[in-house]
Chains A and B, each alone.
Chain A
Amino acid sequence: EDQVTQSPEALRLQEGESSSLNCSYTVSGLRGLFWYRQDPGKGPEFLFTLYSAGEEKEKERLKATLTKKESFLHITAPKPEDSATYLCALREAGNMLTFGGGTRLMVKP
């Protein structure tokens, strides 16, 4: 059975303090690893898709990387507006996604 584990559950950073969020997974054949951002009371917003180990994608202060066992979401010099819950999800076969529990990020000014 697919398993997706995100850590830490919650992360508090000062503005400008860079850090990384982790998404570890066990799957027999990965067909995509997805990162989403979710603000309170709203639907998840798509950020990145990664397909193979070694792949990296960037968007503003965010960079996602992928290995055979985990993915990292690096946040460089975060701002308060980066505060949100970050979700990762994997697709093994078909159209189904398996989501992790999320990391709640709080960036203080």
Chain B
Amino acid sequence: SQTIHQWPATLVQPVGSPLSLECTVEGTSNPNLYWYRQAAGRGLQLLFYSVGIGQISSEVPQNLSASRPQDRQFILSSKKLLLSDSGFYLCAWSVAHSLQETQYFGPGTRLLVL
């Protein structure tokens, strides 16, 4: 069965510091991968998605970037964090080229920027 991991689970960072969140998927090959952010009490906002290694699409201009160095690894980064980057970050995967694609989410990373 497929499993998706995210780490760290919780992170507290000062403003201006760098960020690296990691997401890995097990049990599937060539998945579509997604990064979402969820503000407190609100819905999910898509940040980035990837259909393959090195292929990243950005949905929202921001202080963040994403990379996919390996087939099942997706990384969310920032060079300098802003207070507004605080939130709950979720990684998701789906089966590529499927007519009935469902996105499955990881456990999330809670980021607090102080």
Contacts and interface: CB of A to CB of B under 8 A. Distances in A.
Please determine whether chains A and B interact with each other in the same assembly.
Answer: yes
Interface in B73-114: 88, 90, 92, 94, 100-108, 110
- Secondary structure of the B side of the interface? strand
A49 B102 contact: yes
- Secondary structure of the A side of the interface? loop
A45 B102 CA distance: 11
A92 to B, nearest CB: 13
B32 A95 contact: yes
Interface in A19-56: 32, 34, 36, 41-46, 49, 51
B49 interface: yes
Contacts of B102: 34, 46, 49
A58 to B, nearest CB: 17
Given A34-B102, A44-B105, A96-B49, A87 B44 contact: yes
Contact of B108 (A32, A34, A42): A42
A100 B104 CA distance: 17
Contacts of A51: 100
B43 A43 contact: no
A78 interface: no
Contacts of A34: 102-103
Interface residues of B, number: 25
B43 A42 contact: no
Interface residues of A, number: 23
A13 B10 CA distance: 32
19 contacts: A32-B100, A32-B101, A34-B102, A34-B103, A36-B105, A41-B108, A41-B110, A42-B107, A43-B106, A44-B44, A46-B104, A49-B102, A91-B101, A95-B51, A95-B94, A95-B101, A102-B41, A102-B42, A102-B43
Interface of B: 6, 32, 41-46, 49, 51, 59, 88, 90, 92, 94, 100-108, 110
